[in-house]
Structure formats: C-alpha cells, structure tokens
Amino acid sequence: MSIQYKLVLASGSPRRIELLAQAAIEPDHIHPADIDETPHRAEHPRSLARRLSREKAEKAAEQLRTDEQYASSFILSADTVVAVGRRILPKAELEDEARDCLRLLSGRSHKVFTGICLILPNGRTRQTLVETRVRFDRLTKLQIDHYLASGEWRGKAGGYAIQGLAGSFVVKLVGSYPNVVGLPLHETISLLQGAGYPVYDRWDQGRG
C-alpha cells in the first residue's frame, strides 16, 4: 500500500490558498512561517524571493519536525517580491509606503518575482523562481487617493493587489498572472507533480 503524504502550506495568505483551491489542492495544514524578510545589503530581488521562500519552508519544517501528524509531509512555501530595476518595493503596511510605491510604478514597467520552495518528505528541497513583467498606466493623484482609500494595498508587495481594483491600472502583462497574485499556479503544480505529490487525484471527482 502506498504512503499518503500530506501537504503543509507554510503561508497564511488567503490568495495562495485560493489559487491552490483553483487546482483542487487543499493543504492538510496551514503553518505560516514568521521570518525576518529584510533584504540583505545589495541583494537582488530574484535572490531575495528565492531565499525567503526557502527560509519559510525550512522554518516550518523545523517547527513541525516533532509533530507526528505532519513531520513527514510535503512543505510548500512561496514569497513574492515586486521590484523596479534592482529596487525592492516593500509589502506596504502604511499608507505613505503604498503611495510611494504607486507613484514609482505609475507609467512604467516593473517585475514581480515569486520564489517557490518545496521540501519533500525525505527532506530534499526543490525550488523554482517565476518572473512576470507588468506595466502600469500613468496614474493620476485622484486614482491613487481612491485606491489608497480602498485599503486593498495593505500588506501587498508593491502596494497593490492585481486581482482587485489595481487590475485596472495594468496596460501590459508578460508572463504568469497568478504569479502577480502571489503563486504561479502552473509552476507550483509542476513542482508538486514532479516531486510525487498526487496533484490530479481530485480532478476526476468533479468540482460541483
């Protein structure tokens, strides 16, 4: 009889949970890993996304090591970084931070990097990185003020959520749309499937 491994998501992001659900994947356990996300000096945005996703997975694995229920699980983590050139934009918590981000993004292109890390039940680690290019229209002060009033920006990398009102700012997107939301679905599914997680088991059960 084959062993049925469980899946732990080392993130409490509702967006990542919803994206996984879109592919009929429901984590057996949600275990957010709280780490210091401060970039290292001169760290490239893509390197930051890879490092943070790995550190989140490793911390979750360490915390669950003595948990009999989830010690031998697939542990999935991700981290999304928004950057203009080499400048890394914050995950805005203050309105002034979000305003600065939107002013910087206005009328120009930026990149969204998501690092994905998967720790297998045998302890091995697999990683991938996805890049999407996004261009915003030139934003007026009125647009920025109203968007800030919506509150959708709070806690979002780059001060915006593309799946919400800010989707109307986008004039061009090259690459994975789910990557900008927070989890590149195609690459995540490929990573899980390649590692032996039964991704498609629920697909033939109907979605209602």
**Is 204 assigned a catalytic role?**
no
Q: Quote the distance between the C-alpha of residue 119 and its chain's center.
A: 16
Q: DSSP for 35-88? A: ---PPPTT--HHHHHHHHHHHHHHHHHHHHTT-TTTTTEEEEEEEEEEEETTEE
Q: Please identify which of the residues 79, 100, 137, 201 carries the catalytic annotation.
A: 79
User: Do the Cβ atoms of 178 and 187 come closer than 8 Å?
Assistant: no
User: Do the Cβ atoms of 146 and 30 come closer than 8 Å?
Assistant: no
User: Do the Cβ atoms of 15 and 183 come closer than 8 Å?
Assistant: yes
Question: How many other CB atoms are found less than 10 A from the CB of residue 140?
Answer: 10
For residue 114, which phi and psi values (nearest 5 degrees)? Answer: -125, 120
Nearest to 161 by CA among 44, 45, 14, 26: 14
Parallel, antiparallel, or unpaired for β 73-84 and 6-9?
Answer: parallel
Which are the catalytic amino acids?
A: 79
